[in-house]
Chains A and B, each alone.
Chain A
Amino acid sequence: MKPKEIVIVSGKGGTGKTTISSSFCKLAAADVVICDTDVDAPDLWILLDPKIENTWSFTGMAQAEVQQDRCVECGLCRDFCRFNAIEMTDNNKAFVKPSACEGCGGCSLLCPVQAIHMVEREQGKYYFSKTSAGEFWHARLNPGGENTGLLVHLLRKEARETATIEGKSLIIVDGPPGVACPTISSITGADHVIMVTEPSVSGRHDLLRLTELCSKLGVPFSIIINKYDLSEEYHQQIRRECNERSWNLLGAIPFRKAVVDSIASKQIPLEQLNPEIQQIWDKFKQILAE
């Protein structure tokens, strides 16, 4: 049977994606492959204590590099570049800022003396690891690294292959915050998205944008309200909205200092999230089976 891929996202950062993902990994009782696609702030590894089996370099797209001794100082490349990635240095030679180059290759096509070449650069690393909860695909983008979407795509593909080969029925993906490139890359084509929100004016605002994105991409989703007791007003409002729009509300979890303490000691806070997390998990398994 084809494994089901579940992606945990939030819109807003810091609502508890990784806390809930890690607990789900444990509840899945080893019938799971795990994947962290928050590649520029990956944290799930901290709770899973992975034994890295393999490491690969991620190069992403090639970027432009100027061979300065060939540059004739015409400035065509600088004028063409839409990303303002090319500057003329003090000696009037072209220089490409790696952090700004998007790798379109236009400059190297235009250069009249072929002084610009496209060069692959390491943008980060990705890993296959073993953990006590299951096999784990994760990555780390270099600070300022490019091509997040591509790296996310690659990790999901690898996780799907591992799950298929190992005959696991579930893939749990700990996703990134936001609604653009890495999020779109994380949820496109997934079987189900779980949104972790918090009861605040910001949490609600960000949740609504995320539901809009999922609807646009046609991915089914459910919602968990974390730290629900921090605002009774927004807790009730989000509940009401879920009800009105027939969104699956899986449940709500109160704020507990014990959860923070467990994370501080790098332990998955499963017991500290109970009894709620078990009920949420059971409800979710039902929805997934339907």
Chain B
Amino acid sequence: MRNRPVRIAVASGKGGTGKSCVTSSLVLSRDEVIAVDTDVEEPNLSLLLGHELAPLKDVEVLVPRIDPSLCSACGKCSTYCLYGALTQIGNVPPMLNKTLCHNCGVCSTICPESAIREVPFKVGEIRSYDSDKLKIIEGRIDIGTVNSVPVIKETLETASSIGEMMVIDCPPGTSCPVVASIEDADFVLLVTEPTPFGMADLEMALELARIMNKRCGIIINRCDLSEGNVKGLAEKYEAPVLASFPFSREIAESYARGISPVKVDSLWSREISRVWNFLEREVRS
């Protein structure tokens, strides 16, 4: 038996293909799941679930604070800070650029005078909604924060401590924020559209899933708007196509008002149930 809750990640490569539509539809079709939003730069899953979130806690990282009375201005910290966050000019303590700091702890460890202490610095927050029927955990970086990964990790940890199955709405792309979001996922759903853009980005996402050794499946959104060869990619990467949804002006219009497709479209509710059936078999095996 696994000793941690199952994690389903919804990712895409290309943005705007319908990740939040799929995540919200999955969450609204099944009890005892937690909706998790790790698109911490632009979190909007809760907008489609129709609930106001309340602040749960701040996310902080550690940044150096230099005690000028102890600092000998030796320059060692600025030499060893590979991110260029500490600049030493002349015979005064170095200056810190917080946006370049990666919170690695090297400077405080190597300072020969023990003049560097690490202090918490807020980079974002976790917000939540909790009712009998639905739980939502959302991460949200503060505007100006460069590195979103600490907020993503804290979001996943917070959600995971609740102990129920998680459906994770991931950020777009294929770099570090996505890696952090799908790292511990048991299954990855990739939402695509069959345009040349969708296809190119789907292939990059499938490649990432392969490198990370993740099982994945594909959901095609707006399948009738273009004729990209999703099946070819699905075969190449052994990722089954689990559902296809045509473009619908009605769905687009209700999405615009914050209504999840599963609430307005019978094809979505039918297909999403089938996806759940598949997922339950898949994550058990």
Q: How many whole Å from A287's CB to the nearest CB in chain B?
A: 24
B173-204 vs A, CB cutoff 8 Å, 1 = contact: the mask equals 11111110001000000000001110011001
Q: List the A residue with the shortest CB-CB distance to B252.
A: A230
Using a Cβ cutoff of 8 Å, how many contacts connect chains A and B? Answer: 196
B240 at the interface (CB under 8 A from A): no
Q: In the complex, which residues of chain A have a beta carbon less than 8 angstroms from the beta carbon of B20?
A: 202
Contact (Cβ within 8 A) B80 A109 = yes
Contact with A along B40-51 (1 / 0, CB 8 A): 111010011000
Cβ contact within 8 Å between A11 and B42:
yes
Q: Are A144 and B172 in contact (CB under 8 A)?
A: no
Q: Find out whether the CB atom of A104 lies under 8 angstroms from the CB atom of B102.
A: yes
Q: Contact: B253 with A230, CB < 8 Å?
A: yes
A and B contact pairs by CB, cutoff 8 A, 21 listed: A13-B16, A61-B82, A104-B102, A109-B106, A109-B109, A143-B204, A144-B174, A144-B211, A178-B148, A178-B171, A179-B41, A181-B148, A201-B47, A206-B44, A213-B143, A216-B143, A260-B225, A263-B195, A264-B196, A264-B227, A266-B196
| B255 A200 Cβ-Cβ under 8 A | yes
A106 to B82, CA, bound (A): 10
Whether the Cβ atoms of B147 and A181 lie closer than 8 Å is: yes
Task: Check B126 for interface membership: any CB of A closer than 8 A.
Answer: no
Cβ contacts under 8 Å, B256 to chain A: 198-201, 203, 230-231, 233-234
Q: Is A50 an interface residue (CB 8 A)?
A: no
Interface string of B208-251 (1 = CB under 8 A from A): 10011000000000000111100000000000000000000100
List A residues 61-104 near B (Cβ within 8 Å): 61, 80, 82-83, 99-100, 102-104
Q: Is B29 an interface residue (CB 8 A)?
A: no
Q: Is A110's beta carbon under 8 Å from chain B?
A: yes
Q: Are B44 and A41 in contact (CB under 8 A)?
A: no
Which of B17, B141, B195, B258 meets A179, CB within 8 Å? B141
Kindly state whether residue A145 has any CB partner on chain B within 8 Å.
Answer: yes
Name A residues whose Cβ lies closer than 8 Å to a Cβ of B.
10-15, 18, 38-43, 46, 61, 80, 82-83, 99-100, 102-106, 109-110, 141, 143-146, 148-149, 176-184, 198-203, 205-206, 209, 212-213, 216-217, 230-231, 233-234, 255, 257, 260-261, 263-264, 266
User: Which among A13, A106, A201, A209 is the interface contact of B106 at CB below 8 angstroms?
Assistant: A106
A residues near B114, Cβ cutoff 8 Å: none
Check: B267 CB closer than 8 A to any chain A CB: no
Q: Cβ of A209 and Cβ of B143 under 8 Å apart? A: yes
CA separation between A230 and B226, bound complex, in Å?
Answer: 19
Whose C-beta in chain B lies nearest to the C-beta of A99?
B179
In the bound complex, residues from chain A placing their C-beta under 8 Å from that of B106 are 104-106, 109
CA distance A206 to B16 in the complex (A): 12
The answer to whether A106 touches B109, judged by C-beta atoms less than 8 angstroms apart, is yes
Residues of B within 8 A of A10 (CB): 15
Query: A43–B200 contact, CB under 8 A?
Result: yes
Partner of A148, one of B145, B176, B249: B176
B162 within 8 A of A: no
Do A206 and B42 touch (CB < 8 A)? Answer: yes
Residues of A within 8 A of B57 (CB): none
Extra inter-chain contacts (20) besides given A14-B16, A105-B80, CB under 8 Å: A12-B42, A41-B15, A80-B109, A104-B83, A143-B204, A144-B175, A144-B179, A178-B173, A180-B145, A180-B146, A181-B148, A182-B175, A199-B256, A202-B20, A209-B41, A209-B143, A230-B249, A230-B253, A233-B257, A263-B196
Nearest to B141 among chain A residues (CB) is A180
What are the residues of chain A within 8 A of B228 when measuring CB–CB? 264
Question: Least Cβ distance of A265 to chain B in Å?
Answer: 9
Q: Which among B40, B144, B176 is the interface contact of A216 at CB below 8 angstroms? A: B144
Tell me, in angstroms, the Cα distance from A39 to B226 when the chains sit together.
24
Which residues on the B side are within 8 Å of A141 (C-beta)?
174-175
What is the distance, in angstroms, from B120's C-beta to the closest C-beta of chain A?
Answer: 14
Cross-chain contact A102 with B44 (CB below 8 angstroms)? no
Interface residue B88 (Cβ < 8 Å from any Cβ of A): no
Shortest beta-carbon distance from A258 to chain B in Å: 11
Q: Give the shortest distance, in Å, between B111 (CB) and chain A (any CB).
A: 12
Chain B, Cβ-Cβ closest to A257: B225
In the assembled complex, B14 has its CB within 8 A of some CB on chain A: yes
- Which residue, B40, B171, B196, has most C-beta atoms of chain A within 10 A? B196
Given contacts A41-B204, A144-B174, A216-B144, contact A202 B48 (CB under 8 A): yes
Are A14 and B17 interface neighbours, CB within 8 A?
A: yes
Given contacts A43-B200, A206-B42, contact A106 B143 (CB under 8 A): no
A233–B109 Cα distance when bound, in Å, is 55
B14: nearest chain-A partner, CB-CB: A41
Chain B residues positioned under 8 Å from A213 (CB to CB): 143-144
With A82-B105, A143-B207, A145-B175 in contact, is A231–B141 under 8 Å at CB? no
- Asked whether B147 lies within 8 Å of A12 as measured between CB atoms, the reply is no
- With CB as the reference atom, state the residue of chain A lying closest to B197: A43
Check B94 for interface membership: any CB of A closer than 8 A. Answer: no
**Which 6 A-B residue pairings sit nearest by Cβ, starting from the closest?**
A13-B15, A14-B16, A104-B104, A231-B256, A143-B208, A178-B41
Taking CB atoms, residues of chain B closer than 8 Å to A110 are 109
Give bound CA distance, A18 to B183, whole Å. 29
- When chains A and B are docked, how far (Å) is the Cα of A43 from the Cα of B44? 24
Decide yes or no whether B103 CB sits under 8 A from chain A: yes
Set of chain B residues within 8 Å of A80, measured between Cβ atoms: 105, 109
